[in-house]
Amino acid sequence: MIVIHSEEHRLQAGRSELNDGQLVPCYEKPARADIVRARIEAVGIGPIVNPTRHGIAPLERVHDAGYLDFLRTAWDEWVKEHGADIDALPLNWVAPGMSRRRVPRSIDGRLGFYSFDAGTPITAGTWRAATAAADNALTGADRLRAGDRSAFALCRPPGHHAGHAFYGGYCFLNNAAIAAQSLRDGGAARVAVLDVDYHHGNGTQEIFWERGDVLFVSIHADPADEFPYFCGHADETGAGAGDGANLNLTLPWGTDWSGYAQALAAAAARIRDFGADALVLSLGADTYGGDPISRFRLLSEDFLRMGSAIAGIGLPTLFVLEGGYAVDDLGVNVANVLTGFEQG
Ligand SMILES: NCCCNCCCCCC(O)(O)C(F)(F)F
Ligand SMILES: [Zn+2]
């Protein structure tokens, strides 16, 4: 299985995120990609290649042009107002009864207009890191189109919380959605996206909400209890042409493999019924029992089983890295999914 990785991920190294009322060091940090790459090399998954640059056009197939302009220029605007020694974080957001009719001129206003949390610092290198991650995913999609059975886009920053015109949850560009759209543009009539990250992929859901050609299935912690809190419930099934093409499988805190495997089997059945030509797999490993910010209880060997179950779906599969913060074990857990898939 080819692995696509760019050193430019290192350019996304935020100082701090707002969590539990305090500014704390970012959980989404460069060491995550380093530990995954090291384990991938140690177990011989590969080859590991650099991404092909795809430019802005594939991003505009998924994201709002004004939003992309904002992301590209936000840091320079921030520095004019606040200097270069502090990462850009929003300070207020649109609440019900407020208006989104006008984009503010102020950089502080635009940070809040285009985001949904204060955990996702924009830095000098964010645009380059995020576009490189998208290029990883697009290069993986190119490999599937060329006939590869699978590929792994070792992406950071992650993407599944980023919507058509918003960022948050450590995500700026929705790598998985961009890859799914690229597969559609490359001739796949139907594409399925399966999100196994602990958190709901609210961005991916929003992007494909009214689309029947891309099925979105997500297995995640119940949003009544867990970030992102405001969507991801089981009764969200899509709208318009997308009605029925969205499936949220929510699980309670404390879920272990026995509970998770049932949801994964239901997800696999739904994807088979859909008749997809390709599968994009949003691979977050924060379902791991040792994850510092999550509350499921998967063991490292369960990720082998996860990979095998994904192989059982029987589709060309592009794995796209999302979350996972137990950094010491992240490499083993991610590599286990890929190994389980290849042995599946
Ligand atoms: N007390 C709750 C704090 C929640 N903090 C933000 C969690 C973001 C999770 C990001 C992720 O893991 O879903 C991604 F895959 F996008 F990286
Ligand atoms: Zn997550």
Question: What is the rounded distance in angstroms from the CA atom of residue 78 to the CA atom of residue 90?
Answer: 11
Question: What is the rounded distance in angstroms from the CA atom of residue 314 to the CA atom of residue 272?
Answer: 9
Question: Does residue 220's CB lie within 6 angstroms of at least one atom of ligand 1?
Answer: no
Residue pair 290/124 in contact (Cβ under 8 Å)? The answer is: no
Question: Does residue 284's CB lie within 6 angstroms of at least one atom of ligand 1?
Answer: yes
Location of structure tokens 């996304």? 12
Cis peptide before 157 (omega within 30 of 0): yes
Q: What is the pLDDT of residue 127?
A: 98
Q: What is the pLDDT of residue 287?
A: 98
283-338 tens-digit pLDDT: 999 999 999 999 999 999 999 999 999 999 999 999 999 999 999 999 999 999 99
Q: Nearest ligand to the C-alpha of residue 161? A: 1
Question: Does residue 29's CB lie within 6 angstroms of at least one atom of ligand 1?
Answer: no
ipTM: 0.98
Residues 269-295 have a mean pLDDT of 98
* Residue ID of nearest Cα to ligand 1 atom 9: 169
Q: Which of 20, 22, 286 to mutate to test the pocket of ligand 1 (most atoms within 8 A of CB)?
A: 286
Residue 86 has pLDDT above 90, yes or no: yes
What's the gap in Å between 199 CA and the centre of ligand 2? 4
33-74 tens-digit pLDDT: 999 999 999 999 999 999 999 999 999 999 999 999 999 999
Q: What is the pLDDT of residue 344?
A: 86
Q: Which of 18, 28, 218 to mutate to test the pocket of ligand 1 (most atoms within 8 A of CB)?
A: 28
Q: What is the pLDDT of residue 74?
A: 98
Q: Which of 161, 199, 200, 220 is catalytic?
A: 161
Residue 208 has pLDDT above 90, yes or no: yes
97-153 tens-digit pLDDT: 999 999 999 999 999 999 999 999 999 999 999 999 999 999 999 999 999 999 999
Q: Nearest ligand to the C-alpha of residue 201? A: 1
Query: Is residue 4 very low, low, confident or very high in pLDDT (cuts 50, 70, 90)?
Result: very high
Mean pLDDT of the chain: 98
Distance from the Cα of residue 301 to its chain's centroid: 23
Q: What is the pLDDT of residue 181?
A: 99
Of 172, 154, 175, residue with least CA distance to 162 = 172
Question: What is the rounded distance in angstroms from the CA atom of residue 230 to the CA atom of residue 322?
Answer: 19
Q: What are phi and psi of 276, to 5 degrees?
A: -75, 155
Who wins on pLDDT, 344 or 67? 67
Q: Which of 32, 89, 116, 161 to mutate to test the pocket of ligand 1 (most atoms within 8 A of CB)?
A: 161
Q: What is the pLDDT of residue 88?
A: 98
The strand pairing partners of 48, in sequence order, are 3
85, with CB counted inside 10 A (0-12, 13-18, 19+), is exposed
pTM of the complete model: 0.99
% of the chain at pLDDT higher than 90 = 100
% of the chain at pLDDT higher than 70 = 100
Which atom from ligand 1 is nearest to the alpha carbon of 171?
16
Question: Does residue 195's CB lie within 6 angstroms of at least one atom of ligand 1?
Answer: no
Residues 174-188 have a mean pLDDT of 99
Per-residue buried b or exposed e for 87-120, using 16+ beta carbons within 10 Å of the residue's own CB: bbbbeeeeeeeeeeeeeeeebbebbbbbbbbbbb
